[in-house]
Structure formats: structure tokens, C-alpha cells
Amino acid sequence: MAEILTISRHMAIVDQAMAHYNALDADAYADMFAENGSEAMYRGDVVREGREGVRSGMKAVFAEFPENRAEVLQSFELGDRIVLHERVYRSITATPFDVMTVYSFSGDKIDRVEFIR
């Protein structure tokens, strides 16, 4: 009998958020976050605070880097967290960089994303 693989609820949320990110849709990306959700450096400073901070911050990133995209190289689920290994391309000519992102959740919304570079 073939094994049926199912995607978890949290992995599906992250997949959808990444699709919005790669479509350069800051509004749809930010709407995936809890009202008080944030993006931060790992165990460090918050870089975008609150859903509206994520929205305005990502609009600025996408305006500065209109060819921006991220490729998910690996994904892991550990308890109620999702960890991605991403390769980020700011432009077609820029050297890409790798980042690990750790997602935590509040219900069906992203509560926090921490970046490890």
C-alpha cells in the first residue's frame, strides 16, 4: 500500500506565505501574520514589528529589489515550528545568500519569523 503524505496546517501556511513573498505581494504576505506578529533576527532585534510593520517593511524591500525571490531548499517541521533553509535572490545579477527561517504560530497566523544568517 502506498504511503499517503499530508502537509501540516503550519507547513501549508508557510507555503502560502512564501508564494505571496515570491509574488512580491506585501499585503497578502503581511495578512498571513498575527496582528502582533513580527520578523526578527534570531534571538535578536525585531526588524519588522506587528502586521502593519511587516506590511510596510516588505513593501520597502520589494520596491528596492523588484526581482526579489526566495527558493526553499529544505523544510522541516519541529513540534509547532517550521524551519526553512532558503536561498534568497535580490536580483538576477546579485549573488544569492542563504538564510534559515524559523516560523512560530498563533493559531492559523504567523506569530514570529526569526532569520539566521
Indicate whether 3 pLDDT > 90.
no
Domain presence at residue 104: yes
For 87, the domain range is 9-116
Give the predicted TM-score (pTM) of the model. Answer: 0.91
Domain presence at residue 111: yes
Q: Tens digit of pLDDT for each residue in 47-86?
A: 999 999 999 999 999 999 999 999 999 999 999 999 999 9
Q: Residue 110's pLDDT is what?
A: 98
Indicate whether 21 pLDDT > 50.
yes
Task: Output the domain CATH number for residue 104.
Answer: 3.10.450.50
| Contact of 54 with 36, CB cutoff 8 Å | no
Q: Residue 6's pLDDT is what?
A: 55
Domain presence at residue 1: no
Domain presence at residue 28: yes
Q: How confident is the model at residue 34 (pLDDT cuts 50, 70, 90)?
A: very high
Round to whole Å and give the CA distance between 117 and 99: 5
Our count of domains for the chain comes to 1
Indicate whether 2 pLDDT > 60.
no
